[in-house]
Amino acid sequence: MASIKDIAKIAGVSISTVSYALNGSNKVTEETRQRIKKIADDLKYVPNMAARTLKRQRTNIIGVYVTDYRGSFYGELLDGIKRGLGYYDYDMIVCSGSRSHLFIPEKMIDGAIILDSTFSTEEITQFADEDYNLVVLDRELDYSSVPQVLLDNKGGATLAINQLVELGSRKVFLITGPNGSYDNRQRLEASVKELERFNMSYDVINGNFTEASGHQAAEFIFSKSPQVPVDIFAFNDEMAIGIYRYLKDKPYVIGRDVRIVGFDNIEIGEFLEPKLTTISYSKHRWGIIAAEKMIRLVSNEQAEDELIYTSLVERE
């Protein structure tokens, strides 16, 4: 509410003196600084963001865009980003929905970290052409100015297939995500490649990363009374959970008659019975690295693409 004008009036100095005093310039005596700071505190002065931004042409805020707020997937990632940005005195806000895409050209934020399928790649490249600072976590882009921090989906899928191979699998059901998803395409490509290397047969069943689609896929598989053991690589854990749910009142025993590998290592997996074997990676680290890339961008430094490696979590 109070502005530097008010402070200046009370202190009997000009507004520029107030500004200098408050911003720690050495152009003002220690004594006046103290006096002015005291008045500012008494008035509970806080600089107006809009005015400061208008002048400075930056906000020190980074926007993180997510597809939606649901799911236990984002929490750790956001924590990581926030931590990474905090080291460098940047604030973070989390946004979702296409209206908030406007924050970018409006210059409300100094940069955007994107894990949000409501951004079209075209939209992103347009922003990139206009020199906004962007980091993408959910797609490949042929834009050297937009660093990508991507999951090593191929490595993860290869690990998953190998695990099934080691268990003696002869045939694998692949339950995929939606076609539009970059992660899905990568996982599929690597899985097929690895399966063919071992000369194994496989069936591709289209899912869409939701628990419901996993349930459906299981229905499809088991309604044909397949030969046990049935081996399944679900391209994410949520779909694997759908399979668990389908099998709950069926005679098939998970771990013996059905072997499932998931992807993402979401929290629930550990509470399933039996615990879900899955492909894991550090979401926290993913966030920290994304933040680092963004910091480099706003500092006008070059930022390289980076891969987040995966590992197999073998459970029951």
Answer with the entry of a copy of itself, DNA, none that 268 interacts with (C-beta below 5 to 8 A by kind): a copy of itself
CB of 97 to DNA, least distance (A): 22
**Would you state the structure tokens that stand for residue 73, as one six-digit string?**
């997937």
Distance CA 118, CA 112 (A): 14
Per CB under 8 A, which region of 53-61, 143-151, 190-198, 228-236 contacts a copy of itself? 53-61
8 A C-beta contact, residue 82 and residue 114: no
Within 8 A by CB and 6+ apart from 273, the residues are: none
Q: How many residues bind a copy of itself (CB under 8 A)?
A: 49
Per CB under 7 A, which region of 18-26, 69-77, 84-92, 179-187 contacts DNA? 18-26
Task: Decide if residue 273 touches a copy of itself (CB under 8 A).
Answer: yes
Site string for a copy of itself, 54-73 (x = CB under 8 A): x----x---x----xxxxx-
Residue type, 122: E
Strand locations in 76-153 (E): 91-95, 111-115, 134-136, 149-151
8 A C-beta contact, residue 62 and residue 110: yes
Task: Decide if residue 28 touches DNA (CB under 7 A).
Answer: yes
Task: Decide if residue 143 touches a copy of itself (CB under 8 A).
Answer: no
The only residue of 19, 35, 103, 203 in contact with a copy of itself, by rule CB under 8 A: 103
8 A C-beta contact, residue 214 and residue 241: yes
Alpha-helical runs (H) found in the chain: 4-11, 15-22, 30-42, 49-56, 74-86, 121-129, 153-166, 182-197, 211-222, 237-247, 283-298
Task: Decide if residue 49 touches a copy of itself (CB under 8 A).
Answer: yes
**At 196, phi and psi to the nearest 5?**
-70, -35
Site string for DNA, 59-98 (x = CB under 7 A): ----------------------------------------
Task: Decide if residue 95 touches a copy of itself (CB under 8 A).
Answer: yes
Task: Decide if residue 104 touches DNA (CB under 7 A).
Answer: no
The only residue of 47, 71, 226, 255 in contact with DNA, by rule CB under 7 A: 47
Q: How far is CA 117 from CA 61, 112, 114, 180, in A?
A: 22, 14, 9, 9
Burial of 93 (0-12, 13-18, 19+ CB in 10 A): middle
Per CB under 7 A, which region of 51-59, 204-212, 278-286, 296-304 contacts DNA? 51-59
The only residue of 34, 38, 42, 52 in contact with DNA, by rule CB under 7 A: 52
Helix (H, G, I), strand (E, B) or coil at 51: helix
Task: Decide if residue 57 touches DNA (CB under 7 A).
Answer: yes
Per CB under 8 A, which region of 99-107, 145-153, 161-169, 218-226 contacts a copy of itself? 99-107
Task: Decide if residue 74 touches a copy of itself (CB under 8 A).
Answer: yes
Specify the residue, 36 or 279, whose C-beta has the smaller distance to DNA. 36
The only residue of 53, 145, 162, 206 in contact with a copy of itself, by rule CB under 8 A: 53
Distance CA 161, CA 200 (A): 10
The only residue of 48, 98, 144, 299 in contact with DNA, by rule CB under 7 A: 48
Distance CA 194, CA 188 (A): 10
Binding site for a copy of itself (CB under 8 A): 1, 44, 46-51, 53-54, 59, 63, 68-72, 74-76, 78-79, 82, 86, 91-97, 99-100, 102-103, 105-108, 130-131, 241, 244-245, 267-268, 271-273
